[in-house]
Amino acid sequence: MNPFASLKRWWSNRSHPSDPNTARLFGGFSETSTGLHVDPNVALALPAVFGCTKVLSETEASLPLNFYKRRANGGRDEATSHSLYPILKYSPNPEMTSMKFREAMMIAMCLRGNSYSEIEWTHGGQVKALWPLRADKMQVKRVNRELVYLYDLPNGPIAQLPAYRVLHIRAFGDALMGFNPIEWGAETMGLALAAEQFAAKFFKNGATPSLIFSHPGELGEGAYNRLLKSIESFMSGLTNAHRIAILEEGMEAKAVGISPEAAQILSTRHFQKREICGMYRVPPHMIADLEQAHFNNIEHLGMGFIAYSMLPWFVRIETQIAHSLLSTAEQREYFCKHNVDAVLRGDTKTRYESYAIGRNWGWLSANDVRKKEDMNPIEGGDTYLNPLNMIPATESRFNGLNYQNRFNPTPNGTKIAYNARQAAGKRQKIAQNQINIFAGRFKSIINDEIKAVREGLNKLRQRDSSDFSLWLTEFYQGQNELWLQKTLPLFRAYAQTLGLAIEKELNGDYPLDAIAQFFEQYVESFANRQANESLQQLIALLRQAIDEESDPVPLIEERLDGWEATRSEQLAHNESFRAGNAIAKAFFIAAGVSRLRWIATGDNCPYCSSLDGKVVGIETNFLAKNTDFNPDGADKPINVRSNIGHPPLHKKCDCMISAEV
């Protein structure tokens, strides 16, 4: 009698298995309540286990594992000069690629709970190679408070490896070992195996209930065997299912057993499949169970898989690599990170919308976007846009103005008010004259822009709208510089003319240098605003066409026709008064003016008439953003979307501001 038999039976009947090394000592994995023996090799025959293992291992292995060096400012750069970089990214040893190595590592953790690799060090203390070790041949012990790894070599002896020579990545488990999912889920997998075998045998026997044949007489042994062989050959197997049998000599057939529906074979197998998915935390739809997957949730299920299933694996691997392969000093400087962008990429529309947001708000460059789309960089594509209309709340776009010159106002308030209105009227005439100057230059720029967009549209007419969206983004990268280059001389001449008028108005000397910083920011903001506005309009039309599943070409052509007809004239009018008042306010600040008056002339709308004569501090707004302005006589309120520090209030508004003393 085997002296360890009773001990082995005790181990097999334990309700909570523990150390897999001890399990191997007593003959491997235990027998389940179904009577079936379950170990990793047997469990892998289950489609659910095979599928979950395949999904987890291939997902981890297919993602780039990048190795970075930290910057002092919190950024990072790929540490291409470090010896660990090619090992993690390309090939951990001469025989394996990075993907194959990490795939084997994940398979070991999915089936054994632990992954082991021998670390080959150079004499200089750098990692030379990583060699995978079989998890079922490894034992882990603690000797004198140090971990020791005992590896059963193929030729017989056991090699003892110190901890610094082993990259040990643990699955979910305790401090020493990762728990083996096959061992802890043996009953679940045993039941699944039993259902598989039952179904297979059921169909082998023709998918019909078992039968008892009775004969009125007594059969001898020879007659009994011949009759049994004849019945089995005639009725067993799928090819003989539903054949008609003819009974002779008064024989009767009685059915015993249950139908497949009563046995719930399919539902049992389906339930066990979901149980196994739950153990591995793999969404069932990823192993071809689409019962709970729908068109409107499949993308979010995939995102949840990365966030809740794969992320713990990523962190385990990344942190253990740093702990085992880097010195304490290097861990403060270097780290590895999985790049999950490849699996989190949405559809074309969603990606391009997110790129547009990042590009327009300045945290993505054109080459950043192209890199994410696996495209080569372009010259000048590393420039980041700067939306100058967005500044910190504590700052003003009028900051940095020169306050050296002061004017000495006349103490007669009535006379000053009259002169201020008169001076505002003179600046209003300058603005009206500027409309034609702006209109001619704006029309030339806009017509060239329309021509270029139409040419791009014709080239890409037969291609996907996403291609045209990318082309638009690339095209408008240079449009702000074009606007700046072609309009800066006009703005400078306009500002100088206004400066001369304000010198007479305030009786002082106010050259353009006094507002140089503000002037440069204003013109750059104008140029950026025009390029971004055009791009956003066209992208919105593309998005509309995608939502409506229609052709975007007619929508874009209609918008371009509208630009060609009215855009330059409308922009010229609005910008003449916007720039005229902004530049005047900058000159007022430089002159030391502390208050402003709103001046409305002629037959004005009820909105501007209600503001006529209103006085505010020079850093105070006439109207605050996100308010509804509904004065007496107005048909409907105006929703004020931004702070109004000076005119215009609306399109075609020709109001002005003046200094108030």
8-49 pLDDT tens trace: 343 344 333 444 444 443 344 567 777 788 888 888 888 889
Which tokens belong to 389? 């209309």
Helix axes 568-591, 516-548, angle to 10 degrees: 150
Across 113-117, 264-268, 315-319, 596-600, least confident range: 264-268
Q: Can you give the pLDDT at residue 413?
A: 39
The full set of domain ranges for the chain reads 210-256, 386-660
Torsional class of 257: left (φ above 0), alpha (ψ -120 to 50), beta (otherwise): left
Measured distance CA(268)–CA(230) in Å, rounded: 34
Determine the length of the chain.
Answer: 661
Distance CA 35, CA 46 (A): 17
CA distance 24 to 267: 34
What pLDDT is recorded for position 260?
53
Residue, of 230 and 296, whose pLDDT is higher: 230
Residues 6+ apart with CB under 8 A from 97: 90, 91
Q: What is the SS3 assignment for 615?
A: strand
Q: Give the per-residue pLDDT at 32.
A: 79
Q: Is the model's pLDDT at 404 over the cut of 70?
A: no
Amino acid letter at 281?
R
Q: What is the pLDDT of residue 570?
A: 93
CB < 8 Å & 24+ apart, contacts of 251-259: 251/213, 251/214, 251/215, 251/216, 252/213, 252/214, 253/211, 253/212, 253/213, 253/214, 254/211, 254/212, 254/214, 255/209, 255/210, 255/211, 256/209, 256/210, 256/211, 256/212, 257/209, 257/210, 258/209, 259/209
d(CA 639, CA 625): 8
Q: Which residue has the higher pLDDT, 242 or 441?
A: 441
pLDDT (0 to 100) of residue 235: 63
Instruction: Return the pLDDT at 58.
Output: 92
Q: Taking 90 as the threshold, does the pLDDT of residue 104 lie above it?
A: yes
Collapsing DSSP to helix, strand or coil, 161 comes out as: strand
Q: Are 281 and 309 a contacting pair, CB within 8 Å?
A: yes
Residue 44 has a pLDDT of: 87
- For the cut 80, the answer to whether the pLDDT of residue 572 exceeds it is yes
Total Cβ atoms within 10 A of residue 606: 13
Radius of gyration of the chain (CA): 40
649-653: average pLDDT: 87
End-to-end CA distance of the chain: 114
Give the per-residue pLDDT at 96: 94
How high is the mean pLDDT of the chain? 79
Q: Are 527 and 441 in contact (CB under 8 A)?
A: no
Q: Are 482 and 521 in contact (CB under 8 A)?
A: no
Q: Which amino acid is at 167?
A: L
How many whole angstroms separate alpha carbon 467 and alpha carbon 461?
10
CA separation for the pair 574, 561 (Å, rounded): 20
SS3 content of the chain, % helix, strand, coil (to 5): 55, 15, 35
List all residues 6 or more positions away from 14 whose beta carbon is below 8 Å from its beta carbon: 30
Cβ atoms of residues 361 and 204 within 8 Å: no
pLDDT of 301 > 80? The answer is no
Q: What pLDDT, on a 0 to 100 scale, did the predictor assign at position 540?
A: 85
Q: How many CB atoms lie within 10 A of CB 158?
A: 10
CB 265 within 8 A of CB 199: yes
- The mean pLDDT value for 290-296 works out to 62
Tokens of 559: 């918008």
Higher pLDDT, 230 or 30: 230
Among 259-268, 485-494, 545-554, 590-599, which stretch is predicted with the lowest mean pLDDT? 259-268
| Confidence grade of residue 551 (pLDDT, cut at 50, 70, 90) | confident
Q: Going by C-beta distance under 8 Å and a sequence separation of 6 or more, which residues neighbour residue 617?
A: 594, 595, 596
Arithmetic mean of pLDDT, 467-489: 84
**pLDDT higher for 457 or 28?**
457
Looking at residue 281, what is its pLDDT? 87
Task: Point out which residues pair with 69 in neighbouring strands.
Answer: 77, 334
Measured CA to CA, the distance from residue 640 to residue 625 in angstroms comes to 5
Q: If we measure between CA atoms, which residue out of 526, 544, 636 comes closest to residue 583?
A: 526
pLDDT the model gives residue 634 = 84
Strand-pairing partners, residue 430, are none
Dihedral of the alpha carbons of 322, 327, 330, 335, in degrees to the nearest 10? 0
Summarised one tens digit per residue, pLDDT across range 75-85 is 889 999 999 99
Gap between the Cα atoms of 543 and 537, Å rounded: 10
**DSSP single-letter state for residue 143:** E
Can you say how many angstroms the Cα of residue 248 is from the centroid of all Cα atoms in its chain? 74
Task: Output the six-digit token pair for 186.
Answer: 């043996």
- pLDDT at site 579: 93
For residues 543-567, average pLDDT: 86
pLDDT tier, 349 (very low <50, low <70, confident <90, very high otherwise): low
Question: What would the two tokens of residue 157 be?
Answer: 């002896």
* Amino acid in the structure at residue 349: K
Q: Are strands 166-170 and 114-121 parallel, antiparallel or unpaired?
A: antiparallel
